Structures are given as C-alpha cells and as structure tokens.
C-alpha cells in the first residue's frame, strides 16, 4: 500500500449520518480510532444538527448544511485548539448527530385512576390515555441534561419520564378545569392543548418541547359505567308501563310459537303473561276512568244494581221468574212457604226459600200463621 494512501486512511474526511430508524434521537459518529481531518466535509441534513464535543466540552453546534471543517466556520473549536489561521492538522473530537424532527405516536396513559370531584357523580375516579409528539428544541441543552455520553439515544430512554410528567400535569389540569366528566369528551382538544402547554414549560429545561398531545379516551370505573348505561337505557325506554306491555306481548308471541316446549311450560307462561297483561290494562283503564277532583261534581251516578229473579218448584213443575217483591206478596197470600224450593242465577242448585238469606227476611216480616183454635 502506498504510504500516502495509508496516511489518508488514517483520517476521516466525510462526516454524515443517514437515519433509517424511527426512534433514534441522538447518534454518535463513530471514529473507530481514526482522527478527524482538518478541512473534512461535514454534511448535516434537514431534521438534524451536529454537536461537537471536544475534550468533554460542548464546542460547536452545526445546523443543516454542508461544511468544511476549517477555522473560519469553527470559531469555538479554533479557540479551544488554539489553532492559528492556515494551520492544518488532524484533531480528535466526539461528534453527535441530534435529530430535530418530531417523534410521533408516542403513547401515554394513567397507570392508576385519578380522583376528581365531579358535579354530577360526586367524588369519582377516571382513567385516560392517548398519544403525544416530542421534539428536540435545544440540542446543546438536551446533550448536556439528558444524553451525556450515550452513543445511541432512543425515545425509549426519555419517554418514561415524559409520561410521568404528562400524567401529573393532566391530573392537575383536569382537577382545576371543573369540567364535568360527561362533558370531557367534547373538550379533549382544548384540554390536550392546555396540558401540552404546561408540559412544554417543564421539559424545556431538558431542551425538549411537546408540540402535540392528544387525549383519545377518558373512562369511568366499570361500576359507574354500568349504572350510567342503565340510566341511559331508562331514558331510551321512556314509559315503563308501555315497555312492560310490549315485553309481555313479545313473551306471549314467543310462547305461542313454541306451545309444546318444556312440557306445557310455554302454554302456562303464555297464560300467565296474558293474565298479567289483562290486569295491567284493566288497572290502566281504571286509572284513566277515575274522575278528576274538579270533575267529581259533574260525574253521572252509577247504574242501579240488577235485581235477582227467582223460580219456584212445586209438585215437579217450575214457575217464574218472580221478583223479590212478587215473592213477598206470594208469602202474604200463602202461595209461598219456607219449604218451597227456589232457584236464581248463580245459586248452586235448588234450595228451600227459608234457607236463602236474601229471602229469609221476607218470612220474618209477616207474623207466623195463627195457632189453631183451642
């Protein structure tokens, strides 16, 4: 190998970094024991900055562009090296490429429920989760405060701390906002902007900023959500009586479609449902027919009760029907006695007139027959 090629190989004259990952925030340019040649080409692409660390000190920060590493564009390095103009020699420095693009779709969420005081539910607990975006705002400060000498720094190394800050700021912001839980879904955008602003104030001391924060979901405990679902269902049902009648009718229809199911169980269920529905309808009709207080004075009197009529049986022949008044006259005339057999609708068979409570009083009105002459 020619001696010039060997000497040229000892120096690095092209410095660049092409990132094919999605989570690398800082990458240290590896020298592999070689020195950086004075006058080498440095390429910094959009979304990057290059940070020079010389003898443990932050020397220069290069923004996107192409540079020749010479004294005219390395003022801090020149003062550290005590280089004079025109002096050309290799130097050893650590070069870190810092990504200044946004790192998106980072996840955050509350590990434990957050206690708040809600205007509708009182003291309650909520959980929340979403995504956020982080960006390096000050590469020098980020290197000093967070990265240090890490040769390849990824988002996983800083997102845990940021998530803790997000949860803390989210808890404080929600508690101070006074927004009811049921209205939080309509205000997630505003709340996200408020929380992101508060967090950026905190992490700016790390050289970072939080351009975006999204609240994807805010949820209540399972028991509260179940009670809320029941309350919503009641609002959808509306009139409970009508809903009960509808459910009864549906059960009757299902029982009618399967009359033999369960050894007659369907028929019994259908009959029971039918009776329940009939009673419900009767009660509703009775309630509807009840006169209002201001209508009671104008209500018509009820119809008079229907009087029973009676039949008599004597010597194998029946007569009648007779009214109760007619039977009274027959007793007076001696045509009806206590032993005369009588029957009326609803009576269980023929009975003696004297044994019927309704007719027995007719015999007490008239005095008994006179005793025989002495």
pLDDT above 60 (res 4): no
| Neighbour-count burial for 294-305, b at 16+ CB within 10 Å, e otherwise | eeeeeeeeeeee
The structure tokens listed for 285 are 């009709």
pLDDT tens-digit readout, 320-354: 788 888 888 888 888 888 888 888 887 888 888 88
Please state, as a whole number, how many other Cβ atoms lie within 10 Å of the Cβ of residue 323: 13
Distance, in Å, from the CA atom of 211 to the CA atom of 196, rounded to the nearest integer, reads 7
Contacts of 4 (CB under 8 A, 6+ apart): none
Identify whether the C-beta of residue 185 lies closer than 8 Å to the C-beta of residue 197.
Answer: no
Distance, in Å, from the CA atom of 354 to the CA atom of 221, rounded to the nearest integer, reads 77
The per-residue pLDDT for 298 is 56
CA dihedral 277, 281, 286, 290 (to 10 degrees): 130
DSSP bridge pairs for 134: 103
pLDDT above 80 (res 97): yes
The per-residue pLDDT for 369 is 61
* Mean pLDDT score, 139-168: 87
Class of domain 310-365: alpha beta
Identify whether the C-beta of residue 257 lies closer than 8 Å to the C-beta of residue 166.
Answer: no
Q: Looking at the domain 103-220, which fold is it?
A: Tetrahydropterin Synthase; Chain A (3.30.479)
* Mean pLDDT score, 233-241: 65
Residue in 104, 99, 205 with CA at minimum distance from that of residue 146: 205
Mean pLDDT for the chain? Answer: 77
Lowest mean pLDDT among 95-104, 138-147, 164-173, 264-273: 264-273
Where in the chain are the domains? 3-99, 103-220, 310-365
Contacts of 141 (CB under 8 A, 6+ apart): 205, 206, 207
Q: Contacts by 79-87 with C-beta closer than 8 Å and gap 24+? A: 80/54, 80/55, 81/54, 87/38
* Mean pLDDT score, 184-201: 86
pLDDT above 60 (res 261): no
Distance, in Å, from the CA atom of 304 to the CA atom of 308, rounded to the nearest integer, reads 12
pLDDT tens-digit readout, 20-38: 888 899 998 876 555 677 7
pLDDT above 50 (res 109): yes
Q: How confident is the model at residue 87 (pLDDT cuts 50, 70, 90)?
A: very low
Please give the share of the chain, as a percent, with pLDDT higher than 70: 71
Q: Look-up: residue for tokens 């980020």? A: 142
């Amino acid at each position: 190998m020619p001696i010039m090629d060997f000497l040229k190989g000892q120096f690095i004259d092209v410095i660049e970094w092409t990132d094919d990952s999605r989570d690398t925030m800082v990458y240290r340019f590896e020298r592999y024991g070689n020195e950086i040649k004075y006058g080498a080409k440095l390429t910094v692409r959009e979304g990057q900055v290059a940070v020079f660390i010389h003898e443990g000190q932050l020397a220069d920060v290069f923004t996107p562009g192409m540079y020749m590493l010479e004294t005219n564009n390395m003022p801090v390095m020149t003062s550290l090296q005590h280089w004079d103009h025109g002096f050309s020699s290799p130097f050893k420095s650590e070069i870190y490429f810092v990504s200044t693009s946004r790192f998106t779709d980072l996840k955050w969420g509350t590990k434990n429920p957050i206690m708040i005081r809600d205007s509708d539910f009182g003291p309650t607990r909520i959980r929340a989760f979403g995504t956020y975006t982080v960006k390096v705002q000050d590469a020098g400060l980020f290197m000093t405060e967070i990265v240090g000498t890490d040769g390849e720094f990824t988002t996983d190394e800083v997102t845990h701390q940021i998530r803790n800050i997000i949860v803390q700021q989210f808890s404080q912001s929600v508690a101070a906002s006074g927004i009811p839980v049921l209205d939080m879904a309509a205000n997630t955008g505003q709340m996200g902007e408020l929380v992101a602003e508060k967090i950026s104030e905190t992490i700016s001391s790390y050289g970072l900023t939080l351009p975006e924060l999204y609240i994807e979901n805010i949820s209540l405990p399972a028991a509260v959500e179940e009670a809320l679902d029941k309350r919503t269902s009641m609002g959808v049902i509306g009139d409970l009586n009508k809903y009960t009648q509808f459910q009864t009718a549906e059960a009757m229809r299902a029982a009618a479609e399967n009359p033999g199911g369960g050894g007659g169980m369907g028929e019994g269920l259908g009959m029971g449902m039918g009776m329940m529905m009939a009673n419900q309808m009767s009660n509703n009709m009775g309630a509807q027919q009840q006169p209002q207080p201001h209508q009671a004075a104008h209500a018509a009197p009820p119809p008079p009760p229907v009087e029973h009529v009676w039949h008599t049986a004597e010597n194998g022949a029946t007569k009648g029907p007779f009214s109760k008044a007619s039977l009274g006259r027959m007793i007076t005339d001696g045509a009806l006695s206590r032993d005369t057999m009588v029957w009326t609708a609803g009576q269980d068979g023929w009975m003696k007139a004297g044994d019927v409570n309704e007719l027995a009083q007719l015999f007490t009105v008239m005095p008994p027959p006179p005793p025989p002459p002495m």
